[in-house]
Amino acid sequence: MERNILLYAIDCALGILFVISFVTGLLKFTLLLQLTGLNDIVFPSALISTVHDWSGIFLGLLVFLHLYMNRRWILAMTKRIRGISPQDPGLMDK
């Protein structure tokens, strides 16, 4: 699989998992439900909690994978911001 397509798929999955984690996190936030008047609605809290936990785990794993796949760019940008020339030895060390 081409690297750019793989990165695009990972980014899409990150977005979807973020939305799931965010929405389920809001549904678990009891003070917010009370303030909005939604506390009278019965939500399946065990299911919401399970979905929230698993989406958070997968989100974390995909973030690590995303950072690993972009490590060269991150290192290059860090050195560029710090003012280290790209010609300096060790810029793109593996």
Q: Kindly report, residue by residue over 16-62, the tens digit of the pLDDT.
A: 999 999 999 988 887 777 777 766 676 788 888 999 999 999 999 99
- Give percent of the chain above pLDDT 70: 84
The residue length of the chain stands at: 94
Q: How many Å apart are CA 27 and CA 82, to the nearest integer?
A: 42
Q: What's the whole-model pTM score?
A: 0.73
Q: Please name the residue that has the structure tokens 């303030």.
A: 35
- Tell me which residue of 34, 92, 80, 27 sits closest to 53, measured CA to CA: 27
